[in-house]
Amino acid sequence: MSNIALPKVDQSILTKKTTIISNLKKITNSENVLSEDDEIKAYETDALLAYKQKPLAVVLPENTLEVSKILKYCNENKIKVIPRGAGTGLSGGALPLQDGVLISLGKFNKILEIDFDNNCVVTQPGVTNLSITHSVQHKDLYYAPDPSSQIVCSIGGNVAENSGGVHSLKYGTTSNNILGVEIVLMDGTICKVGGKTFDSEGYDILGLISGSEGLLGVITEITVKILRKAQTVRTALIGFPSVEDGGNFVSDVISNGIIPAGMEMMDKALTEATDNYCKAGYPRDAESMLIVELDGTKSEVDELILKVSDLAKKNNSSSLRINKSEEERFKFWAGRKAAFPACAALAPDYYCMDGTIPKRKLSEVLIEIDRLSKKYNLPVANAFHAGDGNLHPLIMYDANKEGDLRKTEEFGAEILKYCVKVGGVLTGEHGVGVEKRELMCEMFNDEDIQQQIRIKKSLDNNNLLNPGKVYPILRTCVEEGRAHVHGGEEKFPDIPRF
């Protein structure tokens, strides 16, 4: 995670700043173009928080045509563009550049159509994830992907990062729940991909756009599918005397053909912090805790609860509670959703990692994380989307303590490298952004990466859309020996740190 730098600043663009701002104000209302320091400060970072950089300017277009004109102008004048949603990303994907224009989709905040006949919603990208469910819940419908930040994260950002959530195990991530998008390419071309049907002819362009992290275009409209709420939902809160017992329980649940709606795991440190924060009634004596939610018909759920309870006992569970009311079920989940802010009581700062591993490797990886915690002398609390192997280790540090952030970066890099070593991947839902881009060589060789870059260049030949994200810029992966060529000793040397 070290030894990299962002693309060099184009000084010629900086000298033209006044002209660029003036021309942007001709495309959209002048109040939609921000350039003063106090105006753009709010856009200098995303939720990664460890790094900051002010953009050349921020523009808030009001419609798709304005987005098209802005991109066309920037393309013709070789101006870098960084798309941004709600700024809740955790990999630095929306980190601005000094010589780049940041396009904020904050004014694209309307639900355009609710189609109950086709069970879908057409929405602008600035609408929050949870607002989609709110718009249809009176019909007992909902939108399935539910990131922990769903109350504030935007649906456009969810598509860009292919966000998941606690119910992704059964209902899939964002890519499994979108039907179509409207996207504006770097040259200003407006494209419609997909629609209200589940299948379309030709290449799976929608799959390419989902998770593309703002490198291929600016999304201006999204069609998502909505689902009927299950007849019965029951949630089990299970404590285990060891992390290994909890991990083995997860493997047993999946290997027995049970697919919970959600299956979340937290270690003792995070369980205690979360229970202190929101009084969820968690088993504080447990070394690991599982929240297992089952949904379906009443008879189906009743049978599955018995099977899950038996598997919990088989794996030495120390406690087991089944919700007795909807209020209690919501309380179980409220704690998990608040796990990250609860960490504020553990340290001045925390760094949220994101990797995915084969489920059978869960116990092994937890043991390795504990070893690394001792090596770097940095505490770590762990939350997992246990059912699909998506890990979220939270490394505790103090940004004001000399060397702490550097150690945290190295610790996080070792976690992700180990995820790849055991057969996993670098990210489950947060994206690569700038945080993990130099680790892409752990997964891909040069030709793999170049092939992906060729796809990007086919849509953005001048590399103006979100440059410096996802793909290594100072390393070359070599097939033989996987040697690295890199320069510099400072991560993001041109970005001031907090």
Q: Which residues of 219-234 are buried (b: 16+ CB within 10 A; e: fewer)?
A: bbbbbbbbeeebeebb
pTM: 0.91
The CATH code belonging to domain 232-342 is 3.30.70.3450
Percentage of residues of the chain with pLDDT beyond 90? 82
Name the CA radius of gyration of the chain, rounded: 23
From the options 3.40.1190.20, 3.40.50.300, 3.30.70.20, 3.30.70.2740, give the CATH code of 347-435. 3.30.70.2740
pLDDT digits (tens, 9 = 90+) for 28-44: 999 999 999 999 999 99
pLDDT at 481: 36
pLDDT digits (tens, 9 = 90+) for 467-489: 999 998 755 454 433 333 333 34
pLDDT at 1: 41
- Gap between the terminal Cα atoms of the chain: 18
Asked if residue 73 lies in contact with residue 464, where contact means CB atoms within 8 angstroms, the answer is no
Please return the burial class of 255, using the count of CB atoms within 10 Å of its CB with bins 0-12, 13-18 and 19+: exposed
Q: How confident is the model at residue 5 (pLDDT cuts 50, 70, 90)?
A: low
pLDDT digits (tens, 9 = 90+) for 52-103: 899 999 999 999 999 999 999 999 999 999 999 999 999 999 999 999 999 9
Q: How confident is the model at residue 231 (pLDDT cuts 50, 70, 90)?
A: very high
pLDDT at 479: 41
Cα 240 to Cα 314: distance, rounded to the nearest angstrom: 11
For range 493-498, the mean pLDDT: 44
Cα 489 to Cα 216: distance, rounded to the nearest angstrom: 30
pLDDT at 76: 98
Same fold, 232-342 and 347-435: yes
Asked if residue 445 lies in contact with residue 402, where contact means CB atoms within 8 angstroms, the answer is no
Nearest alpha-carbon partner for 67 in 38, 113, 103, 30: 103
Q: Please give the mean pLDDT across all residues of the chain.
A: 91
For range 368-391, the mean pLDDT: 93
Asked if residue 140 lies in contact with residue 158, where contact means CB atoms within 8 angstroms, the answer is no
For range 130-141, the mean pLDDT: 98
From the options 3.30.43.10, 3.40.190.10, 3.30.300.30, 3.40.50.720, give the CATH code of 11-104. 3.30.43.10
Nearest alpha-carbon partner for 342 in 279, 251, 397: 279
Which residue would you say has higher pLDDT here, 2 or 215? 215
What Cα–Cα distance (Å) separates residue 101 from each residue in 14, 94, 95, 104, 267? 11, 11, 11, 10, 42
Nearest alpha-carbon partner for 70 in 228, 184, 241, 204: 184
Nearest alpha-carbon partner for 380 in 425, 343, 427: 343
Task: Give me the helix-helix angle, 362-376 and 243-255, nearest 10°.
Answer: 150
For residue 301, the number of C-alpha atoms closer than 13 Å in the C-beta half-sphere is 17
The domain ranges of the chain are: 11-104, 232-342, 347-435
